[in-house]
Chains A and B, each alone.
Chain A
Amino acid sequence: MSDASKIVAAITVLAAAAAAPAAWAATAKDVLVIGKSADPQTLDPGVTVDNNDWTVTYPAYQRLVRYKTENGKGLTSVEGDLATKWTVSADNLAWDFTLKPGNSFADGTPVDAAAVKFSFDRLFALKQGPSEAFPDGTVVTVVNPTTVHFQLKTPFAPFLYTLANNGAAIVNPKVMEHQKDGDQAQGWLSGHTAGSGPYQLTSWEKGQSIVLEPNPKFAGPKPPFSKVITKIVAEASARRLQLEGGDLDIAEDLPGDQLDALKKAGNGITVSEYPSLKVTYLYLNNKRPPLDKPEVRRAIVAAIDDGAIIDGILLGKGKPMGGPIPEGMWGYDASIKPAAHDPAAAKALLKSAGAEKIKLSFVMSNKDPNWEPIALATQSNLAEVGATVSIENIANATFRERLGKGDFDIAIGNWSPDFSDPYMFMNYWFDSGKQGLSGNRSFYSNPKVDELVRKAAVESNQAERTKLYQEAQKITVADAAYVYLFQKNSQVALRSDVKGFVFNPMLEQIYNVDEMSKSK
């Protein structure tokens, strides 16, 4: 063979390989493929604070309690998962959980009280983001193999709800075999799972795909999928095409116009819309003149045309808010109506405060594509009432730094609760002790509100707590601490043969993969 014919032969072989019949079919019936925009960062439940990681971790672990599902609807109330029942002392400080027998980790190690203790001790020792949800100084002890005791230092009403968090995952104590330099096996768990949930991680090609397979020792019903694959497809248009092409069963994080197009086209794709607890709001710097005057803040609330923002920017996929607690979370007060768009009233308020012709900064980053149009809308709304807004679009890390320091007049943010308790809104946003990045980003301070929300945080009676929170809500709405823009609808695009998906507003980007299936 001459050199030339060798080359021709090689090219022919390569071309034949490339043209080999494409696996052009929908994914197999027993495989679920989820398309995600970014690779998870770490899979250590004691470290991750990102829902994007929880897609993988949540089904790999179990927790003492889980969110209830009723008639195909995900609720914010909880029921036992690993725990079969629990008791709480009258002073709300001592909690005893009885574990269901028969649960074990993927390697066969039983899930007992010692494992629960280990998991929480580890969480508190790591002292990273997820530990924030749990009260300081909590001590966990083993009463007997099926009973575990939590002793709180101060009463913390939302405690039970925090146990459904991703961070409250029960981890196999055997992970300590992988501990390196006292890292609590953090290095190992960042890329592996060690739980008792229905699935476990079997492979992770970084930046490419993550494969979950059934946990052979899972005590519950056998999960329907032999593989749950998460594929990383960074570009939204590419994700949409792969969903349409049948290479994905679920595509996350598609922009509104793409979802509308998918909805219209139909062809085998269902776009479902669910009310969420994800709130977008404006921080008004209560510490900094002229926004230290409530009249000026009220004027801004009246000047902003919330309805136009929802229709124009969210394409109607959101709900206006009256108060801080969104609809769907207990404690929500339907009697507080969303503020009316009233430029005349806004002008009058500014005049009475002697704050005509004010200049304000609007600080933002590009973290959320909706923020920029919202900033522009705010700018034009406020121009109508004589206030000049200069928009500063800065890098997200710098943005957060400035939020923390209170170096802004107006800023924008999104918020979603970590646990299903109005505490996530009322205490974080208004307690003067949480000023700054940790929650109270308007730097709001009102002793009466402090008293109400702190009382609600330790009170055990839910009806009483609702009353306290509703009273505090009325005050804070009158004080116009923030501008509540909307709670955004969550949209999920799935192929129509995927059945049984339950959306839970507490579990964004988390799929009930142990209950879903694909129709034949």
Chain B
Amino acid sequence: MSFLNVIRRRLGFLFLVVVGVSLITFAISHMIPGDPARLIAGERASDQIVAHIRETLRLDRPLWEQYAHYVRDLLHGDLGTSIRTGRPVSGDITAFFPATIELVVAALLFAIAVGVPLGVMSAVWRDRPIDHLVRTIAVTGISTPAFWLGLLVILCFYGRLHWLPGGGRIDQMVAPPPLITGFYLVDALLAGDGVAFASALRHLILPALTLGFVHVGVVARQIRSAMLDQLNEDYVRTARAGGLSRLRVVLGHALPNALIPSVTVLGLAFGDLLYGAVLTETVFAWPGMGSYVVASIQSLDFPAVMGFTIVVSFAYVFVNLSVDLIYLALDPRITDIG
């Protein structure tokens, strides 16, 4: 019952988020000085041409009318047409968003896969060399600019060693898998296309490691402190006294409890990764939403900016919801979340 309650409440909340986000983004994008019509027409265009474009784009109407139009279209599932590209915003989102999510999920998985063991080891062997090493890795990760790290790994693994591709999402001579989910790895598997899968995977490795590296430190530190709390608990001592092996106590008892508070951190990390992806995408020529949104902002392309903001806020709400549901599943004592 409680799962349904949480989901129902969050969906109601989602509506408010979308209204709020669209209103704020709309207001901000119209407060920025500059005329998108001038940007499409080119600097040299005469005033008549610019006026004509403003009229076609309805930019000459009062602000409230433009907003009303936008919301009406939005309710019909229409995110409008990009001013800069002349294409439907929903199409652009379908093209760019899955690429970003694929990268972010891969980076997050990498951060968890490496960060959790490191954190556990660091807590178990506290203040021993391994702990110092893990803490050094954590600090390095957090303080390394993704941009710089990205160039470094390209230089090393592409430029010198020739092990992995230097950028892009798939080899230019390999056809991308047919679009189903937009995630190349998943789509390639669904289509049974081994060549596309291998190529997509090879392209994913370096950017995912670069983006995830920062969060290895975040995850390791979080797990370390949660584990330290757990290891000092009475139940751990009791279990050890009862004759359970150290490994079993650490992995079987302490770790699951330490993971509960860490789920929140991972949820937040997902949000961080989403915006951190912009720089990584630039370095790795990853066709995600990062460069698209930056270009849209520079062109004052408000339908595109708003479309993405709305989709991203959906993603945030969805991730938050998932975090809460995972909480419910992990901790049987919690029966409801506000």
Measured CB to CB, the residues of A under 8 A from B are: 14, 17-18, 20, 22-24, 27-28, 31, 33, 38-39, 41-42, 44, 47, 49-50, 127-129, 131-132, 186-187, 190-191, 205-209, 229, 231-235, 237-238, 241-242, 244-245, 247, 395-398, 400-401, 404, 418, 428, 437-439
Contacts and interface: CB of A to CB of B under 8 A. Distances in A.
A80 B44 CA distance: 27
Contact of A238 (B34, B42, B85, B285): B285
Contacts of A428: 44
A207 B42 contact: no
Contacts of B52: 127-128
Contacts of B155: 241
A22 B162 contact: yes
Closest 7 CB pairs of A and B: A397-B34, A207-B287, A49-B42, A190-B86, A208-B287, A129-B42, A206-B95
Contacts of B171: 23
Given A129-B40, A190-B86, A241-B154, A18 B167 contact: no
B311 interface: no
B87 interface: yes
Interface in B125-172: 151, 154-155, 158-159, 162-169, 171-172
Given A206-B96, A235-B151, A401-B34, A38 B295 contact: yes
A131 B41 CA distance: 9
Interface in B281-338: 281-285, 287-288, 291-292, 295, 298-300
B34 A131 contact: no
A437 B38 contact: yes
Given A42-B85, A127-B52, A396 B298 contact: yes
Contacts of B300: 397
B287 A205 contact: yes
Contacts of B298: 396-397
A418 B35 CA distance: 22
Contact of A44 (B86, B198, B292): B86
B102 interface: no
A386 to B, nearest CB: 33
B39 interface: yes
Nearest to B163: A22
Given A234-B285, A396-B298, A205 B166 contact: no
B253 interface: no
B252 interface: no
Interface in B74-104: 81, 84-88, 92, 95-96, 99
B41 A49 contact: yes
A26 B89 CA distance: 36
Given A208-B287, A235-B282, 12 more contacts: A18-B205, A20-B202, A41-B299, A132-B41, A186-B86, A206-B96, A207-B99, A234-B285, A241-B154, A245-B162, A401-B34, A437-B43
A72 to B, nearest CB: 29
Interface of B: 32-35, 38-49, 52-53, 81, 84-88, 92, 95-96, 99, 151, 154-155, 158-159, 162-169, 171-173, 176, 194, 197-198, 201-202, 205, 281-285, 287-288, 291-292, 295, 298-300
Nearest to A428: B44
Given A18-B198, A49-B42, A234 B151 contact: no
Nearest to A367: B298
Nearest to A49: B42
Given A18-B205, A245-B158, A28 B173 contact: yes
B302 to A, nearest CB: 12
A232 B287 contact: yes
Given A17-B197, A23-B173, A187-B87, A397 B39 contact: yes
B87 A190 contact: yes
Nearest to A42: B86
B168 A190 contact: no
5 contacts: A17-B202, A128-B53, A244-B159, A397-B32, A437-B43
Contacts of A400: 34, 38-39, 43
Contacts of B198: 17-18, 20
B201 A438 contact: no
Nearest to A232: B285
Given A241-B159, A397-B300, A209 B282 contact: no
Contacts, number: 178
Nearest to A402: B33
Contacts of A401: 33-35, 38
Contacts of B159: 241, 244-245
B311 to A, nearest CB: 15
Contacts of B45: 49, 128-129, 132, 438
Given A235-B283, A241-B166, A128 B41 contact: yes
B221 to A, nearest CB: 26
A205 to B, nearest CB: 6
B320 to A, nearest CB: 28
Contacts of A231: 168, 172, 285
Nearest to B198: A17
B172 A207 contact: no
A49 B41 CA distance: 7
B169 A208 contact: yes
B40 A47 contact: yes
B315 to A, nearest CB: 19
A131 B165 contact: no
A33 B48 CA distance: 40
Contact of B165 (A22, A38, A237, A244): A22
A38 B85 CA distance: 13
A67 B33 CA distance: 39
Nearest to A399: B34
B201 A18 contact: yes
A242 B41 contact: no
Nearest to B47: A438
A385 B182 CA distance: 61
Interface centre among B159, B172, B298 (most CB of A within 10 A): B172
B34 A395 contact: yes
Contacts of B47: 438
Contacts of A50: 42
B34 A132 contact: no
Contacts of A131: 49
Contacts of A206: 92, 95-96, 287, 292
Contacts of B40: 47, 49, 128-129
Contacts of B35: 397, 401
B49 A207 contact: no
B167 A238 contact: yes
Contacts of B95: 205-207
B270 to A, nearest CB: 22
